[in-house]
Amino acid sequence: MESKCIIELKGIWKIYQTGSVKVEAVRGVSLKISKEEFVAITGASGSGKSTMMHLVGCLDTPSKGSIFLDGKDISLLGESNLAEIRGKKIGFIFQKFNLIPTLTALENVMLPMDFQNDDNSDARKRATKLLGMVGLSDRLNHKPGELSGGQAQRVAIARALANNPEVILADEPTGNLDSKTGQTVMDFLCELHNKEGKTVVMVTHDLNLVRFAKRVVKLKDGEVESDSYSYNHRRKSK
């Protein structure tokens, strides 16, 4: 039985206009991502990866075409509605962590729940539990400047899980980490996918990370150059 589609892009174009200069960052892309998939979107610099990340993550709207999230067309929604959907459906993990420097680890993880007007006591309990899951029970009251890069990224992962989203969108999740810490982060993403059934969409140019995904979408000049399943996934499916 085919898994339900959670994200669908239909004939998506993203065109940026600066004066007389027009840049077609994404050109007529159609793509379906099913629930519980682990998809890597890759390509060289300038291939359209960052733009695709913003579109898939509802951080931007297309110039042409439609984007469906869980069957709902979000292409024409305003920012406030997009923000509400993002908060409930998608958890973001960024290369530069994007933690609030003046907040503690606990407060950073509570923030997405605050935006959804969750009860403060419940939010604190969930944030504490999530930080424990990523091995940071002893760092609850530390601010980002007091954490290592690996610890900060684990706080970012906990924050991404705050509202129990269906989709985890990871943008170069190991880009600022050493190889050992990066491996730990990738192992955790795989665990979220394999054990908790999260849909993971990872945007990266690092071919060492692509091997973790079960499906690889390669972009070139704003178009899908290839879309294939990994060798290990094909073997398991037989």
pLDDT in tens, 29-85: 999 999 999 999 999 988 999 899 888 888 888 999 999 988 888 887 888 888 888
- Note whether 201 and 36 are within 8 A (CB): no
Residue type, 128: T
pLDDT in tens, 138-176: 999 999 999 999 999 999 999 999 999 999 999 988 888
Instruction: Report the pLDDT value the prediction gives residue 1, as an integer from 0 to 100.
Output: 45
pLDDT at 236 over 70: no
DSSP string, the chain: -PPPEEEEEEEEEEEEEETTEEEEEEEEEEEEEETT-EEEEE-STTSSHHHHHHHHTTSS--SEEEEEETTEE-TT--HHHHHHHHHHHEEEE-TT----TTS-HHHHHHHHHHHTT--HHHHHHHHHHHHHHTT-GGGTT--GGGS-HHHHHHHHHHHHTTT--SEEEEESTTTTS-HHHHHHHHHHHHHHHHHH--EEEEE-S-HHHHTT-SEEEEEETTEEEEEEE-HHHHHHH-
Q: How far is CA 39 from the centre of its chain?
A: 10
Q: How far is CA 58 from the centre of its chain?
A: 11
pLDDT at 235 over 60: no
pTM as predicted: 0.88
Q: For residue 149, what are its two tokens?
A: 């890069």
* Domains of the chain, first to last: 5-237 (3.40.50.300)
Mean pLDDT confidence for 103-125: 92
State the Cα–Cα distance between residues 42 and 205, nearest whole angstrom: 5
Q: How far is CA 48 from the centre of its chain?
A: 16
State the Cα–Cα distance between residues 120 and 158, nearest whole angstrom: 17
Task: Provide the β-strand partners of residue 217.
Answer: 41, 227
Mean residue pLDDT of the chain comes to 89
Instruction: Report the pLDDT value the prediction gives residue 101, as an integer from 0 to 100.
Output: 96
